[in-house]
Amino acid sequence: MIEHLMDVFTYPPIQRAAIACVLCGASCSLLSVFVVLMKMPLIGVSMSHAAFAGAVLGMLIGVNPFLSGFVMCLAAAGALGPLSDRTDLAPENVLGILFSFLMGIAFLGMGILTRTKAGVLNLMWGSLLTLSGCDVTILAVVTGVLVLFVIVFFKEIHAVLFNRRLARASGVPERMIYYALLFLTGAVVSANLATVGGLLIFALLVQPGATALQLTYNMKHFFLISAASGIGACASGLVISYIFDLPSGASVVLMATVIFAMAYIFSPKRRMAKLKKRNGAP
Amino acid sequence: MNEQLITLDGITVRKTGTVLLDSVSLTVARGELVGVIGPNGAGKTTLLNVIAGFERFEGVLSLFGQRETHRRSRETRLRVGYVPQSFPVDPAFPILAWEAVMTGAIGRTGLFRSPGRHRRQEAMALMETMRLSHLAARPLGQLSGGERQKVSLARAIIQRPDILLMDEPTANLDIAVQKEVLDLIDEIHRKEGLTVLFVTHDFTMLPSAMGRAVLLCQGRMLFDGDIDKALSGETLTRLFRYPLETFRRKGRRFISYD
């Protein structure tokens, strides 16, 4: 079995799929820390619908749907921060409004579109085995920028995730960090559309962070556990999908859920909280 | 004459058609501990938010002799510390008490620089001085309200500000913890010589160093002067529009009403 798997990995499309899978796991799970700690789970699904709407518009005006999807995703990310800051609306409400607005645009475009809709639908479901070298390169660049951003601005990110207002009061450029995180979310989502697709990114943007939340109080470990669980889910999901001939995206998401369930069951934080409750601590 | 650190001239804040602050003027000199007192909705927090740079406003605000808007330079932000009303923290959030204190020093450290071991030692030393060292390694979300508020105070102090803005720092705390926090504020004010603006609606529990109070009602300034005059039955009756009397016993202020 292992020999057979090794043989399969000699084919370039499979190699590209494997690399893309690891990059997808790493990028989504790093962002997942931000999504979970800022309590913005809707952001993934909103961004993927922005890409979807962009792709439909692209097809309508004759532009590459992946390019127009990418641009729309970045535009939505760029609009989210100022919209929630200037209008006194909670970011999750802005996300809800943005999500439904973009979905409306996407379906309106789908209704007008007379050509085949397969290109657009690919963005929703992804297709690991048809990835081009260019797709993987874009994903690698976006993941690299994200990793660099987390390393360079780690202390600022920690302060902003803890409390935006206090971070601002302490002289941290919180708006720059927050907007950059939103922008990177847009970039990661759109770069990953071709791999796992818009619908499944939602799961990868939430589950690795939720897994880490069960296991540690240390922010550095939090990022590492989140990345490890995201990459683990992607790699194991891909192998399982090959062995049992299952859809790869669904296998990845199910593996992420299994990893989260294990972390929840064996969570030392939950056990500590239970013990404290039993001992009557405040 | 003492240097004026905060000057507000005709500050007005409007939001969605409502006037939250109506032409408020105020000056605060270096080293003063001023109470901002008023009923709910009086505009106390809005006033603090204007000075902290969280709120857009009309009128003139000067800090350290420089005219400011709600947009601030990093240098000005560093000189104004802020202690919020107790705020909720997810019990699972990955931050320990000493790390929460350290977040106050991140602005000072600056971008592209590591806080290093000396900043951690500084945080630990400060926590030791504030009798918080036993909490240092505990997750912030698992501390009690009072403990979290003391950590919040330490977070603001490590920023080494000239002005400290405190928004109801003793709200929702039991009396014993309120007293501990107030004593800590008195101690910090005395040792660091900070200029403090202390917002509260509870005028029975105030830092003993508070010599002056500003009374706000419906966005307007009703009184600015000596704390004893501010908290006289006559002034409070005007403030709350309800007949009130105050008396002191063993240094504490009590209120009586029908």
Domains of chain A listed by start with CATH number: 2-267 (1.10.3470.10)
Q: Cα–Cα distance between A201 and A205 in angstroms, integer? A: 6
Asked if B155 lies within 8 A of A269 by C-beta distance, the reply is no
Residue in chain B closest to A276 (alpha carbons) equals B142
What is the mean predicted confidence (pLDDT) over A217-230? 96
CB B160 within 8 A of CB B60: no
Residue type, A169: A
Cβ contact, residue pair A170, B144, below 8 Å: no
**Distance between CA atoms of residues A216 and B92, nearest Å:** 8
Interface membership of A171 toward B (CB under 8 Å): yes
Q: Is A70 on the interface with B (CB under 8 A)?
A: no
Residue A1 has pLDDT above 70, yes or no: no
Q: Given a cut of 60, is residue B106 above it in pLDDT? A: yes
A38 to chain B nearest CA, in Å?
10
What residues form DSSP beta bridges with B7? B27, B62
Q: Average the pLDDT over B2-23 and give the result.
A: 92
Q: Does residue A158 belong to the interface with chain B, where contact is any CB pair within 8 Å? A: yes
CA closest to A213 among chain B residues: B92
**Gap between the Cα atoms of B152 and B72, Å rounded:** 22
pLDDT of residue B214: 95
How high is the pLDDT of residue B8?
97
Are B232 and B206 spatial neighbours (Cβ–Cβ below 8 Å)? Answer: no
Question: Nearest CB to B104: which of A156, A170, A217?
Answer: A170
Every domain of chain B and the residues it spans: 1-79+162-258, 85-160
Q: CB B77 to CB A152 under 8 A?
A: no
CA distance B79 to chain A (A): 9
Q: Is the dihedral of CA B182, B183, B186, B187 positive or negative?
A: negative
User: What pLDDT does A264 receive?
Assistant: 95
* Complex-level ipTM beyond the 0.95 threshold: no
Chain B contact probe: residue of A35, A151, A152, A166 with most B CBs at under 10 A: A166
Share of chain A above pLDDT 70, in %: 93
Q: What is the average per-residue pLDDT within A16-44?
A: 90
Collapsing DSSP to helix, strand or coil, B257 comes out as: strand
What's the first-to-final CA gap in chain A, in angstroms? 54
* Residue B254 touches partner A, C-beta closer than 8 Å: no
Q: What is the pTM of this model?
A: 0.89
- Does the pLDDT of residue A168 top 90, yes or no? yes
Q: B residues 45-84 near A, CB within 8 Å?
A: 52-54, 74-75, 77-78, 80-82, 84
pLDDT at B99 > cutoff 90: yes
Give the pLDDT confidence of B232-247 residue by residue, as tens digits: 888 888 888 888 888 8
CB < 8 Å from B in window 253-272 of A: 269
> Residue B104 and residue A219: Cβ atoms within 8 Å?
no
Q: Give whichever of A70-79, A84-93, B161-170, B248-257 has the largest mean pLDDT.
A: B161-170
**Shortest distance, CA B139 to any CA of chain A (angstroms):** 7
Q: Percent of chain B, pLDDT > 90? A: 57
Indicate the pLDDT class of residue A176, thresholds 50, 70 and 90. Answer: very high
Q: Say if B88 is an interface residue toward chain A (CB within 8 Å).
A: no
CA atoms of B197 and B28, how far apart (whole Å): 9
Contact A173 B74 (CB under 8 A): yes
Average pLDDT over residues B180-192: 88
What pLDDT score was predicted for residue A115?
65
Of A187-201, B73-87, B212-226, where does mean pLDDT reach its minimum? A187-201
pLDDT given at position B85: 85
State chain B's mean pLDDT as an integer. Answer: 90
Residue A123 pLDDT more than 60? yes
Distance from CA of A160 to the nearest CA of B (A): 9
Write down the residue that tokens 């931050």 correspond to: B95
* Residue A87 touches partner B, C-beta closer than 8 Å: no
**Residues 6 or more apart from A92 whose CB is under 8 A from it?**
A39, A40, A42
CATH top class, domain B1-79+162-258: alpha beta
User: By the 8 A CB rule, do B178 and B185 touch?
Assistant: no
Q: What is the mean pLDDT of residues A52-62?
A: 84
